Structure 1
């Protein structure tokens, strides 16, 4: 072994300086890019130092075994690809915000392995789909009942301001029940008729609310069931294959975690929706009771 000569050291220095300078540059050139069908097509490529390269707003990766650039199998989020387009369309005046990968492709490569929303839902398995189906049905029904009860509450309030009773709302039907009492001087008969009319209206107001409540309770329980199933699958994998390869245990762990997440995501909105719907039903029932109590009080005062 001999010491490097002055010429070699100077060449090494100049090469390193050149590399540092090139890393700070954004260049555009034409090169072959591998296509989805396996062919290669010449495309205009923009490269930011040694960090990232993209073409047409899509990021590229270098395939060393084939010595060719190729598009990532899955592109980053829209804001990241938008930054790539902005750099490609930059005119050179001022600064343009771009995105680089300090790991020189490794971070972008991980995007391919990051599950999408649909893939995460699929990780929940059949338990996850059942939970989502129950949640979707209960949510649609809950929204329908909430709007129905809110509309009913508005109709009841409007009826309270009108002396003429209408069969189209609960308060109107209660008032018609009062008008049907033969002996209105009998406070007991009036009170019994009003109570009976209110009792007939309450089941209509509360109809379907228990379904929302049951669904909100079932969802986290299904999530817990999925968690148990996922852990059982994980322990079976450990028993059969050991703990040397984490990928073997990933399936069971994914089921355990995603079913829990799905159960909570379904349950929380249903609990809130049930509270709103039940509150609307209670407001209508309260108005009916207040109006009935007012009618009974008027008759009691009239007899004195």
Structure 2
């Protein structure tokens, strides 16, 4: 401020020295007024500065006092925190000592709860036990030692599971029919093993809580398999809880097995049918012939042409051969003719019996070729693909053997019948020749005796 006044004074002095004399008085007046105004403004500004300085000092003192209070509070909290830390450490030690054995119990309880939960997930005995499922899940998910109520709930879940698995009861479950519609259905729960209704067994999906019917039911229906033993109803159940019933769908039926054989299998079955028809037809004919021959044996003196033996006897009766050898040849010819008619169709059955297994082997070879071709294209990462193809290939061999065995039996039966009839005919033919030979020998002896008597006479 002093420097500012000195500058103004110097300026004024210079103006006085330079300006004309007539303006000196006016300039001094103006300078005085300006100086007075400036001094007033300076005093006002100094007052404002002093007020601001005093306000700032008061705020500084308040902040310093507040800082002292905060420092005191921080020290108090720090001391309290240290004390609490020490108390907490002591309490944790006491808790560790107090819950040392309870920790092992907690582990055992959680393991037991997991076992119960696994049983609930795969067993139909948990149907209608939503409260038990919730209690067990809460124990498994808990991070602290289970309470008394939770332990009691776990025990009750065990009891309910055991009781439900030991009795048959009616329960209502969501059921999905073949059309895909869901409805509530009352079914019979057989312990912890299966669900069933009047039509058969049901599959239970524990994840979706839905019952569906098995695609393939056992051969014996549920109600028909029930038995009563000492007043108690006994019914067969799947002890694997549905695993065996599910495998029934993977077991092909007889029709499906035949379809797996393909065209070769159908040809083999066709040969079997043809062979059996031929065998039955020829067996009926041979049995009829045997019956007629039995009747003819009772009427030797009156042969008929409706049976082979009768026709052979008619040949003997009508024969006019001069010698026994000629008669024997004629009878042999007749027997051979009859034998040809008796053995008709037998060779065909034998041929079919031989062709059937060969066709089965052919089907197996072609099926194996297709199987290995599939493995070449898609790889053999899944053994079921290879096993299924080999199984289908072997079906033709099975069909061939199945066809060959009855055909061989039919062939043996027909051969035995034909051989028996032929033996009867041959035996009777030999008897006729022997009878003719005896007659010729007797005639010769009679002639010789008559000739001797004539000579003596």
> TM-score scaled to structure 2, two decimals?
0.62
Q: State the distance in 1 between where 2:289 and 2:161 align.
A: 75
Secondary structure at 1:54's aligned position in 2?
A: strand
1:267 corresponds to which of 365, 387, 404: 404
Cross-structure match for 1:7: 149
Q: State the distance in 2 between where 1:152 and 1:249 align.
A: 54
Structure 1 stretches of at least 4 aligned residues deviating more than 4 Å after TM superposition: none
CA deviation string 1:143-195 (max 9, x = no partner): 11112112212211221221111110001111111222124x52122112211
2:413 corresponds to which of 272, 276, 280: 276
1:180 corresponds to which of 313, 318, 321: 318
Which one is further off, 283-292 or 40-49? 40-49
Cross-structure match for 1:201: 338
Contact kept, 8 Å, 2:195 with 2:204, in 1: the verdict is no
Q: State the distance in 2 between where 1:101 and 1:10 align.
A: 32
Secondary structure at 2:216's aligned position in 1?
A: coil
Cross-structure match for 1:158: 295
What RMSD, in angstroms, separates the aligned Cα atoms of the two structures? 2.1
Secondary structure at 1:244's aligned position in 2?
A: coil
Cross-structure match for 1:147: 284
1:45 corresponds to which of 178, 187, 206: 187
Cross-structure match for 2:170: 28
Contact kept, 8 Å, 1:43 with 1:55, in 2: the verdict is no
Unmatched runs of 5 consecutive residues or more in structure 1: none
2:215 corresponds to which of 69, 73, 98: 73
CA deviation string 1:192-214 (max 9, x = no partner): 22112112111100000001001
**Structure 1 residue 229, shift from structure 2 partner:** 1.4
Cross-structure match for 1:233: 370
Cross-structure match for 1:16: 158
Cross-structure match for 2:29: none
**Structure 1 residue 251, shift from structure 2 partner:** 4.3
Cross-structure match for 2:261: 124
**Structure 1 residue 268, shift from structure 2 partner:** 0.6
Unmatched runs of 5 consecutive residues or more in structure 2: 1-142, 442-457
- 1:255 equivalent to 2:397? Answer no
Q: State the distance in 2 between where 1:155 and 1:221 align.
A: 39
**Structure 1 residue 64, shift from structure 2 partner:** 5.0
CA deviation string 1:26-76 (max 9, x = no partner): 111334422212223443310112211111131111245653212112211
| Greater Cα radius of gyration, structure 1 or 2 | 2
Contact kept, 8 Å, 2:177 with 2:213, in 1: the verdict is yes
Contact kept, 8 Å, 2:203 with 2:214, in 1: the verdict is yes
**Structure 1 residue 9, shift from structure 2 partner:** 2.1
Q: State the distance in 2 between where 1:278 and 1:115 align.
A: 38
Cross-structure match for 1:136: 273
**Structure 1 residue 81, shift from structure 2 partner:** 5.5
Q: State the distance in 2 between where 1:98 and 1:121 align.
A: 33
Q: State the distance in 2 between where 1:216 and 1:109 align.
A: 38
Q: State the distance in 1 between where 2:341 and 2:222 align.
A: 53
Contact kept, 8 Å, 1:32 with 1:68, in 2: the verdict is yes
> TM-score scaled to structure 1, two decimals?
0.91
Are the structure 2 counterparts of residues 5 and 43 from structure 1 closer, same or farther at C-alpha, using a change threshold of 3 Å? closer
Which one is further off, 112-121 or 71-80? 71-80
**Structure 1 residue 80, shift from structure 2 partner:** 4.8
Q: State the distance in 1 between where 2:204 and 2:399 align.
A: 38
- 1:58 equivalent to 2:200? Answer yes
Cross-structure match for 2:104: none
Which one is further off, 189-198 or 206-215? 189-198
Contact kept, 8 Å, 1:230 with 1:254, in 2: the verdict is no
Secondary structure at 1:112's aligned position in 2?
A: helix
